[in-house]
Amino acid sequence: MEMRLKKIFFSCVLMSPFFLLAQHFNAAEIPDSLKKNANLVTRYEEETIEIKSPGKAISHERHVYTILNEEGDYYARYRSRYDKFTSISNISGRLYDAGGKELKHVKKKDMDDVSGTGDESLMSDTRYKVNDFYCRSYPYTVDYEEDDEINGILYLPAWVAQGINGAAVEDTKFVVIAPKDYVLRYKPVNCSFQPIVTENAGKKMYTWEMKGLPAKQREPLAPPDDMILPYVMIAPSDFEAEGYTGNMNTWEDYGKFMYNLAKGRDALPGDIKMKVHELTDGLKNPKEKINVLYGFMQKNTHYISIQLGIGGWQPFDASYVAAKRYGDCKALSNFMVALLKEAGVVAKTVEIRAGENAAPIVNDFPSLQFNHRIACVPVQNDTVWLECTSQTLPAGYLSSFTADRSALLFDENGGKIVRTPKYGINDNITTTKVIANVDINGNLSAKINARYSGEQQDILEQYINGLSKDKMLERLKSEIDLPTYDIVNFNYAQNKEMLPPYVDETVELTASNYAQASGKRLFIIPDIYTRSNRKLKNDEDRRYGIELKKEYRLIDTVEIVVPPGFEPEALPKDIKIDSKFGRYMASVKVAGDKILYYRLQEQYSGTFPPSDYALLVKFYEDIYKADRAKVVLVKQ
């Protein structure tokens, strides 16, 4: 996150010339209560947008941050987005020293102008104005102002009073000015903020303001900021962009607009139609047709982001994808729906907020809350979900990128909120079997076979399809918790025939001095491969709740052959932990020349109050210790 996130279409703020001349932002004037635990202080921040019509607006904004230490330097950088919808009329920036004396002043022409096209973007009209004063004499203050012109309003920014971790706030304000009859919709989230509304000269002014907010710090396993921090969502009713008009008072109306943007863009060229029938005419089961056509789409297209004007919401037509063999999430999903339509299978397009740790959308506030599109096919009281940007996932599996969340399905009847499938504890399973030998000097050789299913295989699936063998070896080495070892061999195999899919891992390794040899004794940790490294610090001032988003089950069996003539002197006691957060069991025994170890760990999903944090700390601490318990063998 740079100094600010430029909204999809605009940003905002009005400031009087008197204020600009009078305020010098002496850092010594910041109250001590706001410096506590702070890396920076928002001295003054105001964002104002004046809506002229459903498709026109002007905005002004000002951001003044005093940077207290190097942790705050990141937020002193200014990065402002502009594109076909938003043009920057003016930007200015000032740098002040600790006493408020101006050191530097930059204007729009002095700032760098960089492309917004990234590695995955083929075409984008997004560009950025960028500036960094590169000051490292603390404290210092940066002060930026900007004026924008907006053509096309599909999105209005949320007002987040305190969106930066480690930032205290002296004064922050958000203002929307609109014609008296303009229907501005807003919703306070995680709070009850209401605007001050005034009327003058046929206009309404909505003002939100907060002052004196101490710095907040991110807490481990806290829910996403969108679920705990106070903010106010803003959205239009009627809107217009590039000649397209719509209304988003309801999800139904919002969905109709998105459907109309894509209408008529599903026509396939003749050769692709012929290929569809060649592949599917002999198939009677709709799911077989889905699997075949999804595989065809994956083999013949790849993902590239294309963001040009209304193309941020409107897909390229199916014939374009067929010819170019690429597309973004909208274009590929539209292409997949078109393939299925030609085969006589009705599919739908779905807007969704993607990301493993993405906050949920606000279901009761229709607005542009999504960043991704997928497809789905209702089949015989079931739904097959299709992630069309992936060339490796099986049909019907979404992964943690889009699973278990609300989304918007739209068709000719409009939009409606649906729920994507959740992969639970019986889907997300890792089973590990280790066969090992320890010699008289404590050296270990081991063969590990592991199976990762459901969301447990998501990261591995990406690695094995996106990394070289050498890079996979680097990744593997970084995750093994052994002091000195060599990987003799390793291999991965992906199985996509079952849902959820799984990945099989085979690793052969050696580790010198794995067991500690001391006189006649050997000290051996039986948990060779799957020790938990999770430890949390106690926090008596925990402010936010706990979110355990993913649930899973880990099952481990270990067999270690030890040198002859050794007998057990001390064994770890069997352990069983039952908690509201999960379950843990471990047992070890010696049978002849073998140590036999069994481990089970389960994590449950859920949200828990801050008062439970100490229990969670202890739960993970107990597992951490149990995973490192030692068997003591003595030579007879």
DSSP 290-327: HHHHHHHHHHH-EE-EEE-GGGGTSPPPHHHHHHHSEE
Same domain for 202 and 295, yes or no, is no
311 against 240, higher pLDDT: 240
User: Between residues 124 and 523, which one has the greater pLDDT?
Assistant: 523
Question: 64 and 25 in contact (C-beta within 8 Å)?
Answer: yes
Q: What is the mean pLDDT of residues 550-576?
A: 96
Q: Which of 192, 79, 82, 237 is nearest to 144 (CA)?
A: 79
Distance between CA atoms of 256 and 90, rounded to whole angstroms?
A: 37
Are 202 and 340 part of one and the same domain?
A: no
- Given a cut of 60, is residue 5 above it in pLDDT? no
DSSP string for residues in 423-492:
--TTTSEEEEEEEEEE-TT--EEEEEEEEEEGGGGHHHHHHHHHS-HHHHHHHHHHH---SS-EEEEEEE
Residue 445 has pLDDT above 80, yes or no: yes
Give yes or no for residue 9 having a pLDDT over 60: no
Q: Give the integer Cα–Cα distance in Å for 334 and 321.
A: 9
Residue identified by tokens 């043009």 is: 87
The domain in which residue 396 lies consists of: 248-419
Average pLDDT over residues 77-82: 91
Share of the chain above pLDDT 70, in %: 94
Q: Cα separation of 535 and 288, whole Å?
A: 46
Same domain, 399 and 545: no
Torsion, CA 617, CA 163, CA 114, CA 112, rounded to 10: -120
**pLDDT confidence of residue 399:** 95
Same structural domain for residues 564 and 485? yes
Which of 393, 419, 445 is where one domain is finished?
A: 419
Decide if 12 is inside a domain. Answer: no
pLDDT classification of 240: cutoffs 50, 70, 90: confident
CA distances (Å), origin 426, targets 188, 235, 529: 37, 40, 22
Summarised one tens digit per residue, pLDDT across range 474-512 is: 999 988 988 899 999 999 999 999 999 999 999 999 999
Q: State whether 90 and 61 are in the same domain.
A: yes
Q: What pLDDT was estimated at residue 310?
A: 62
Residues 204 and 316 grouped into a single domain: no
Rounded to an integer, the average pLDDT of 232-239 is: 93
Quick one: pLDDT at residue 154?
85
Do 402 and 433 fall into the same domain?
no
Mean pLDDT over each residue of the chain, to the nearest integer: 91
User: Is residue 504 domain-resident?
Assistant: yes
For CA atoms 227, 252, 246, 383, the dihedral sign is positive
Evaluate whether residue 373 is within a structural domain: yes
Domain of 304: which CATH number? Answer: 3.10.620.30
Using the predicted structure, report yes or no on whether residue 116 has a pLDDT greater than 80. no
- Of the candidates 244, 266, 299, which is a domain's last residue? 244
Looking at the fold, whether 413 and 439 belong to one and the same domain comes out as no
368, amino acid identity? L
* Alpha carbon distance 313, 598 (integer Å): 52
Tell me what pLDDT residue 300 has. Answer: 97
**pLDDT above 80 (res 11):** no
Instruction: Note the pLDDT tens digit of each residue in 523-547.
Output: 999 999 999 999 999 988 899 999 9
For residue 364, tell me if it sits in a domain. yes
- CA–CA distances in Å: residue 353 to residues 309, 356, 415: 20, 10, 15
Per-residue CA distances from 585 to 139, 548, 579, 636 (Å) = 52, 20, 12, 31
Tell me, yes or no, whether 266 and 389 share the same domain. yes
Neighbouring-strand partners of residue 523: 516, 632
Q: Which of 215, 244, 273 is the last residue before a domain boundary?
A: 244
Residue 277 lies in a domain: yes
What CATH number does the domain containing 483 carry? 2.60.120.1130
In degrees, to the nearest 5, what angle opens at C-alpha 224 toward C-alphas 461 and 456? 20
Instruction: Report the pLDDT value the prediction gives residue 75, as an integer from 0 to 100.
Output: 93
- Residue 24 is part of a domain; what is its CATH number? 2.60.40.3140
For the stretch 32-49, pLDDT in tens is 999 999 999 999 999 999
d(CA 249, CA 271) in angstroms, rounded, equals: 42
Question: Cα(213)–Cα(291) distance, rounded to whole angstroms?
Answer: 54
pLDDT computed for residue 483 by the predictor:
86
- Other beta carbons within 10 angstroms of residue 343's beta carbon come to 20
Terminal alpha carbon distance of the chain: 63
In a shared domain, residues 282 and 194: no
Distance (Å, whole) CA 600 – CA 576: 9
Give all strands (DSSP E) within 5-85, no chain letters: 40-53, 56-67, 78-82
**pLDDT for 254:** 95
The Cα–Cα gap between 582 and 451 comes to: 21
340 Cβ contact list (under 8 Å, min separation 6):
289, 290, 293, 346, 347, 375, 377
Residues 409, 282 share a domain: yes
Q: Is residue 424 part of a domain?
A: no
Q: Which residue has the tokens 């905005």?
A: 59
In this structure, what are the phi and psi dihedrals at residue 458, rounded to the nearest 5 degrees?
-60, -50
The DSSP secondary structure of 211-242, one letter per residue, reads: EEEPP----TTPPPHHHHS-EEEEEESEEEET
Give the tens place of pLDDT for each residue, 298-355.
999 999 877 655 657 889 999 999 999 999 999 999 999 999 999 999 999 999 999 9
Radius of gyration of the chain (CA): 29
With cut-offs at 50, 70 and 90, classify the pLDDT of residue 1: very low
Q: Is residue 153 situated within a structural domain?
A: yes
Domain count, the chain: 3
Residue 562 in this model has a pLDDT that exceeds 60: yes
- What is the rounded CA–CA span in Å between residue 514 and residue 198? 73
8 A C-beta contact, residue 545 and residue 608: yes
398: left (phi over 0), alpha (psi -120 to 50) or beta: alpha
**Is residue 451 in a domain?**
yes
Check whether 16 has a pLDDT greater than 80: no
What pLDDT shows up at residue 243?
Answer: 83
Residues 263 and 409 occupy one common structural domain: yes
